[in-house]
Amino acid sequence: MPGDVINIALMADKLGPVGEPAEETTHVARLIARAKEGDAAAFDQIIISQQRRVIALAWRLLGNQDDARDAAQESFLRVYKHLNRIDPTKDFSGWLYRIVVNVCRDMARKRIRSNQSSLEAEIEAGKLREPVSTHNTEAAAMLSQEQALIARALATLTQKERAAIVLRDLEGFSTEEVARILGSRPVTVRSQICSARAKIKAFRERWLKKKGLKGMK
């Protein structure tokens, strides 16, 4: 069952796009087959192999560490609950990402209903940020600043735009794959991505201009 093993993902230096080579896909398929036969250790290995990308996606969709951890926990619980429905010969990552997106949507709706502060407001308060390297270097500082800018820009998007751009540009899925994960059409996803990119570009320009003006004071 999912547990403290999820916390390992939070120690990653950065959460960039994570590829899935053919050998890893084969390995996961074998683990799924064993888990369906009742091998608990095999399911733990599935969590370990997928947790980094699950945490990365949840972090970018929800914006903070606690929510990302909760979303990952719930996502793996749903995977465990529906384990018998998994076809090891088909795209497990796409199926898993679809679960994560749905879990994050549910959590975002609950946040709105409970009148919690907006993502943008929480970012302004310094509550939302992606994890960065713990090494005290100039590169780490630059990475931290860039991730903060990305988080701020993502917070200005609608939920659908945010999911589409995160899956396409940050996670590296093709437009067709994003459409399958989101249960949408490629043409709709392209429109959402185009809109999201335009908003992010405009936000970045405003943010840099604001920072530049502050620096002149």
CA–CA separation, 161 and 51 (whole Å):
24
- Whether this prediction's pTM lies above 0.85 is answered by no
Which single residue is written with the structure tokens 């390995």? 27
Mean pLDDT lowest for which of 8-12, 97-101, 150-154, 161-165? 8-12
By the 10 Å C-beta count (0-12 exposed, 13-18 middle, 19+ buried), 169 is classed as: middle
| CA atoms of 162 and 9, how far apart (whole Å) | 22
What range defines the domain where residue 185 resides? 4-216
Residue 64, sorted as left (phi over 0), alpha (psi -120 to 50) or beta, turns out to be beta
Q: What does the pLDDT read at residue 9?
A: 32
Rounded to whole angstroms, the Cα distance separating 171 from 191 reads 18
DSSP type of residue 125: T
Based on the structure, what is the number of domains in the chain? 1
What are the residues whose beta carbons fall under 8 Å from the beta carbon of 175, sequence distance 6 or more?
168, 186, 189, 190, 193
Over residues 109-165, the pLDDT tens digits come to 887 665 544 454 544 554 444 444 444 444 445 445 666 777 788 888 998 999 999
pLDDT tens figures, 76-92 = 999 999 988 888 777 78
The conformational region for residue 124 under phi > 0 = left, psi -120 to 50 = alpha, else beta, is alpha
Q: According to the model, what pLDDT value does residue 80 have?
A: 92
Q: Which contiguous run of DSSP H or E holds residue 16?
A: none
CATH code of 49's domain: 1.10.1740.10
For residue 34, what are the CA distances in angstroms to 62, 93, 96? Answer: 32, 17, 18
